[in-house]
Structure 1
């Protein structure tokens, strides 16, 4: 068995971490690779070769990364088609979108209505989740703003 490069090992580790969150291993490998690869833009063929994935796995994984907002298509100089890259601020853009937290809060509110309201038996789990999502929905924009202020204050912003 051949020794994996440090870059490939990192991608494999990312796959393990994200698999633990219920995401497909290819998603984690692709994200891990795109975070450290050089050049930062990689074609589907480069991704498949670098990670030992099938073109189908690359295609499926990249669709997930694109739809989640973590990756985007970019021109691939010297290649037909496009390449993929991770935006440096991708996770900030995702976290700053309060809509996803609102959707979960509203789902918990709907659950409370289904079981008979705030004081119904078994309502605590829904109330706690609703209140948590309401908190995140309210606070996340402030946290992102604070992070951006502190980060750009260091003069290190590149995204």
Structure 2
């Protein structure tokens, strides 16, 4: 990697860390976005990123499960990975599924709070309403994203 590529990879590592993932996950994802050739072996990835092959393997599997990267078929037992388009919308869909599940918990929380605790009830209701609002528009957002993606290509 040249110095600019290193900086980009490291910055993306920090972003992924801020989003709750591992720094190595962000660095691996970033490198796969810009590397040439576009598919890389675990050995190559470990060498470029300066981390163990085990760490790269673990992170690559996590990114594969989330739909962000895919394993490339090879004639050998070597594992090779490349970027998958549309991975971030899949990650967002997974996060929104958690938000959707949280509504039941928030509704339960509201059911156990009486009117004698208006401050707590208001805070809980505000959180529940925000999550419901986000979910209400999520399908339309994904449709707008699909249209945007098609027209901006």
TM range (shorter): 0.7 to 0.9
In structure 2, relative to structure 1, the CA distance for the partners of 1:38 and 1:123 (3 Å cut) is farther
Structure having the higher helix fraction is 2
Question: What is the root-mean-square deviation of aligned Cα atoms in Å?
Answer: 2.4
* Residue matched to 2:45: 47
Q: CA, structure 1 residues 143+83, in 2 after alignment: closer, same or farther (shift >3 Å)?
A: same
Question: 1:145: Cα distance to partner?
Answer: 0.5
In the alignment, which of 78, 82, 87 is matched to residue 84 of structure 2? 87
Unaligned regions of 5+ residues in structure 1, if any? none
Q: Which residue of structure 2 lines up, in the alignment, with residue 57 of structure 1?
A: 55
Aligned counterparts of 1:16 and 1:107: Cα–Cα separation in 2: 31
Match of 2:142 in 1: 144
Q: How many residues align?
A: 151
Q: Summarize the alignment of residues 5-154 of structure 1 with structure 2, pairs less than 5 Å apart.
A: 5-76=3-74, 80-96=77-93, 98-116=96-114, 120-154=118-152
- Residue aligned with 1:38, SS: coil
Deviations 1:91-133 (A, max 9, x none): 123334552331122232233234448x654123322222122
Distance 1:34 1:114 in 2: 48
Aligned mates of 2:29, 2:22 — CA distance in 1 = 11
1:16-70 Cα shifts (integer Å, max 9, x gaps): 1222233221111111112222222221111101110111211221232123222
Where structure 2 has 5 or more consecutive residues not aligned to the other structure, the ranges are none
Q: CA deviation at 1:12?
A: 0.8
Per-residue deviation at 1:142?
0.4
